Amino acid sequence: MKSFEEVKEKLASFTFEEDFDLLVAIANGGLIPAAILNQRLNIEIRLLRINWRDTKQKPIYDKPKLIVPIDFEFKNRRILLVEDRVKTGASLRYAKELLEKDAALVKTFAVNGTADYSLYDEACFKFPWLI
């Protein structure tokens, strides 16, 4: 397991090729990494409520589903879409599709897994902030 300090330090020193004006966290997993990134980037942060698995990671829907309608303006915004873990990529792809229709740019970030930006890409990864 990575320590919280290790993940926090890696997030603090991470560099992006683009400038963003909006952080969008996929709730619930993306909340903590987005909050840490927000401390560094100091830009607006919003939530995108998408789910398709229960707390034990078993699917509860056939595919990712928007749980709460998008309630923030993102037209022509440069968005960093934040997720904690990317396994299949289905939730991240769905979220990106929802936003890129009107956004100027959507790049993805994951603490672990495959995204435009990621800290780790490890098969077995336990987040230090999970109970």
> pLDDT, tens digit, for every residue of 72-112?
999 999 999 999 988 888 899 999 999 999 999 999 999 99
Distance, CA of 79 to CA of 107 (rounded, Å): 6
Q: What is the pLDDT of residue 126?
A: 74
Q: Lowest mean pLDDT: which of 2-11, 54-63, 89-98?
A: 54-63
Strand pairing category for 44-51 and 65-66 = antiparallel
What global pTM score does this model have?
0.88
**Alpha-carbon distances, residue 111 vs 39, 84, 123 (angstroms):** 16, 5, 12
Residue, of 131 and 15, whose pLDDT is higher: 15
54: pLDDT strictly greater than 70? no
Distance, CA of 58 to CA of 75 (rounded, Å): 33
Per-residue pLDDT band for 38 (boundaries 50, 70, 90) equals very high
Domains of the chain (ranges plus CATH)?
4-120 (3.40.50.2020)
